[in-house]
Amino acid sequence: MSNDAISVPPLDAEAMRRARERQDRLTKPARSLGRLEDLSVALAGMTGRLDVPLAHRVVFTLAADHGVAAEGVSAYPKEVTPQMVLNFLNGGAAINVLARRFNARVVVADLGVDAELAPHPQLRALKVRRGTASITRGPAMSVVEALVAIEHGRSLVREETERGLDVVLTGDMGIGNTTASAALICALCRLDPVEVVGRGTGVDDAGLERKRNAVNAALEVNAERIAQGPAEALAAVGGLEIAGLAGVIIEAATRRRPVVVDGFISGAAALVAEAMAPGASAYMVASHRSHELGHGAALDHLGLKPLLDLELRLGEGTGAVLALPLLDAAMAILNEMATFDSAGVSQREP
Amino acid sequence: MSNDAISVPPLDAEAMRRARERQDRLTKPARSLGRLEDLSVALAGMTGRLDVPLAHRVVFTLAADHGVAAEGVSAYPKEVTPQMVLNFLNGGAAINVLARRFNARVVVADLGVDAELAPHPQLRALKVRRGTASITRGPAMSVVEALVAIEHGRSLVREETERGLDVVLTGDMGIGNTTASAALICALCRLDPVEVVGRGTGVDDAGLERKRNAVNAALEVNAERIAQGPAEALAAVGGLEIAGLAGVIIEAATRRRPVVVDGFISGAAALVAEAMAPGASAYMVASHRSHELGHGAALDHLGLKPLLDLELRLGEGTGAVLALPLLDAAMAILNEMATFDSAGVSQREP
């Protein structure tokens, strides 16, 4: 039951045709703005209009803890997860700084932090459980818990839609979550951990070896669960914030909102979203290529080509927010430039 | 005489050290913002301060014509150069749209358009001559003309400094100028035209063959001039807007202003600037990797790594302006984020 496909509307082919046709009449050599032109066409297809609204942009930064963090897979102690949630709420983290700069709202949600967080007007308290169990010894959580976390992610998008929501951006916080994401990417793309497991926030060689071993163990002990479908794989080796982000992406796609996908952890969530809601990837904009090892493979699996490659490996939604000016630029070009006719500029020689 | 080196101040190593030290205290894993961190350190080195000012940003879009355009090397007739200058002045071109979006001023200058342009309050009339001679039969211009064009570029920067100028951006317009730029890149980097000559604004296979032949002929007929030095090479196979842009870059570097270099044509000008003012490349930020063939070689020669790779091939300064949000982001991160101490976030485990 959990793996019934969720329906996603197709892109608007007519809007895409009109956007492409308009791009070709603007006062520039055809296709000379490269991927910006493609981006404007894609956004037109997602939203069904050429004047794609971009004013209300919300980054969903979802936090949770991971049982596997106890196994020495991160350079940071797990206390950093709740500490960073407070930092988000106080506006001092990188995602806050970038969101302010690029006019995005940050929605911070606790999907499963392993600490009691004091109530805060800016914190969405959606804790499913206090952290996952270690994926090296069994499932991270039950399938029901994973589905509840997905539903929480969907509900966040529904709530924000009422406040105004044009562009959805994904972000994450959770010590240990590159390990869970690596396991999930291996599971869903059928890759070997050596191709996917990277240094995360900066483990040394011994830590990297522990991460690889943890992912290998997780894939082995959870092999039967993984084979049952994406929700089961998510429950087996994923995480609560990853599940929430899958829900965010699914809800965005069903509502025809462009969703700017951040890096490695969001990439794992995007794989889950596409597996559960085929066609969701058509609404995804890959913001950047993470410095984390297996991210490229996840993007390839989704057919996405990242806009930026800045060797980022922070998460929080920082890479997604950095791509916003390119969305703005793409739509400004489409809607504000003069055409050859209106400007009296000669077209190509025949 | 023309090749006496112009003196460029060194970067401020102490400001760079302080910027790096501050980056490492911010609430994020060390180096997790990758190239944005490097960019903040570089900007601190250029300006000698951590609160690098970025408010006054001016794109210098310089226009000129090229005698070689008569030899079928472009997909567009040369009338497009003055037509596009009018489009710039009317605010309808891609550079205008992007500059408005990212709060940059556009300075449009005629360095050598082969047409009488009516006076316009926004047009800087600095025509050295009506277009260059064809580089396939001799020098594009005299060395004196090239030096005058460089001086015009320098004077534009000086003028804008009085109005407020924190960041310099380069841009170009000139039918035929990818051919001249390719010849100049071949001359200054000692490359073969097959490695450098690309399709520009979109010539077909026959046009590409004509471009390659033109560059080969230009390098042959001007070989002695090219060997004399960068100013002579510029005069021999370059162009008036390229010379002006070299001046813009040189003046920016001598004044310790960051200069965001656009694509292929600006890359050729940057090579001239570095050759005439060694060390100028330390003040350059490569905005993007152009879709034009030889751009990567020019960037490599300058030791620059582009921030964006969006398959752009328009010029005008569009790629440079698109990089501005990344400069903004880099400096916002450095100056607005919380530190581990101030936010009470645990550092790495020992």
* Rounded average pLDDT over A19-34: 97
User: What residue in B sits closest to A348 (Cα-Cα)?
Assistant: B76
Chain B contacts of A118, Cβ < 8 Å? Answer: none
Shortest distance, CA B263 to any CA of chain A (angstroms): 12
Nearest CB to A94 within list B28, B307, B309: B28
Quick: pLDDT tens for B174-217: 999 999 999 999 999 999 999 999 999 889 999 999 999 999 99
Contact A75 B328 (CB under 8 A): no
- Cβ–Cβ under 8 Å, residues A264 and A318: no
The 10s digit of each residue's pLDDT in B48-85 is 999 999 999 999 999 999 999 999 999 999 999 999 99
**Which amino acid is present at B166?**
D
CA distance A317 to chain B (A): 12
Q: Distance between CA A43 and CA A219 in Å, rounded?
A: 37
Cβ distance of B90 and A338 shorter than 8 Å: yes
Contacts of B34 in chain A (CB under 8 A): 291, 310-313
- B201 and A29 in contact by Cβ < 8 A? yes
Chain B positions touching A292 (Cβ under 8 A) are none
- pLDDT interval class at B3 (50, 70, 90): low
Distance from CA of A274 to the nearest CA of B (A): 25
Residues of chain A neighbouring B342 (CB-CB closer than 8 A):
92
Is residue B202 left, alpha or beta, with left meaning phi > 0 and alpha meaning psi from -120 to 50?
Answer: left
The Cα–Cα gap between A81 and A263 comes to 18
Answer yes or no: do B202 and A30 touch at CB < 8 A.
Answer: yes
Compute the average pLDDT of residues A252-274.
98
Report the gap between the CA of A16 and the closest CA in chain B (Å): 20
| Bridge partner list, B168 | B58, B259
Out of B92, B93, B98, the one facing A329 most closely (by C-beta) is B98
B15-33 pLDDT tens trace: 999 999 999 999 999 999 9
A163, burial (CB in 10 Å: exposed 0-12, middle 13-18, buried 19+): exposed
Q: Which of A89, A311, A322, A339 to mutate to test the interface with B (most CBs of B within 10 A)?
A: A311
Q: Is B79 a catalytic residue?
A: no
The sign of the torsion formed by the CA atoms of B209, B212, B215, B219 equals negative
Q: A66 vs A23, A60, A314, B134, B184, CA distance in Å? A: 47, 19, 17, 67, 57
Residue A76 per-residue DSSP state: S
Task: Kindly identify which residue of chain A lies nearest to residue B85, measuring between CA atoms.
Answer: A345
Strands (E), A146-238: 167-173
- Cα angle, residue A116 at apex, residues A115 and A120 outer, rounded to 5°: 125
Tell me the chain A residues in contact with residue B201 when contact means C-beta distances shorter than 8 Å.
29, 32
Separation of alpha carbons B17 and B5, rounded Å: 29
Tell me the three state secondary structure of residue B13: helix
Do A239 and A174 touch, CB atoms closer than 8 A?
yes
Contact A100 B291 (CB under 8 A): no
Share of chain B above pLDDT 90, in %: 97
Residues of B in contact with A102 (CB under 8 A): 325, 329
Starting at the edge strand found earlier in the chain, the sheet holding B167-173 runs B123-125, B105-112, B57-64, B167-173, B259-261, B284-286
pLDDT, position A349: 58
Q: Which of B37, B159, B316, B336 is catalytic?
A: B316
ipTM over 0.90: yes
Predicted local confidence at residue A1, as pLDDT: 42
CB atoms within 10 A of CB A183: 32
- pLDDT tens column, B291-310: 999 999 999 999 999 999 99
Strands (E), B158-283: 167-173, 259-261
Q: What pTM was estimated for this model as a whole?
A: 0.97
CB spacing of B202 vs A29 below 8 angstroms: yes
- Interatomic CA distance for residues B31 and A291, integer angstroms: 11
User: Are B35 and A310 within 8 A, CB to CB?
Assistant: yes
Place of tokens 């005008």: B316
Residue of A nearest to B336 (CA): A97
- CA angle, B97 as apex, B96 and B102 as ends, to 5°? 95
Chain B residue with CA closest to A335: the answer is B97
Sheet containing A167-173: give its strands across.
Answer: A123-125, A105-112, A57-64, A167-173, A259-261, A284-286
Q: Closest approach of chain A CAs to the CA of B98, in angstroms?
A: 6
Q: Which of A28, A87, A291 sits opposite B343 (nearest CB)?
A: A87
Q: Using the beta-carbon criterion (under 8 Å), do B32 and A313 form an inter-chain contact?
A: yes
Predicted confidence band at B348 (pLDDT cuts at 50, 70, 90)? confident
Contacts of B67 (CB under 8 A, 6+ apart): B131, B132, B133, B134, B135, B140, B176
Q: Contact B346/A79, CB-based, under 8 Å?
A: yes
Contact A27 B94 (CB under 8 A): yes
Closest CA to A216 of A243, A233, A240, A191: A191
Q: Which amino acid is present at B186? A: C
pLDDT in tens, A220-256: 999 999 999 999 999 999 999 999 999 999 999 999 9
Exposure string over A89-112, b if 16+ CB within 10 A, otherwise e: bebbbbbbbbbebbebbbbbbbbb
The size of the A-B interface in CB pairs under 8 A is: 185
- Residue B284: phi and psi, rounded to 5, are -95, 140
* Alpha carbon of B332: minimum distance to chain A alpha carbons (Å): 7
Flag if A312 and B36 touch (Cβ within 8 Å). yes
pLDDT band at B350 (very low <50, low <70, confident <90, very high): low
Q: Which of A220, A316, A336, A349 is catalytic?
A: A316
How far apart CA A339 and CA A26 sit, in angstroms, is 4
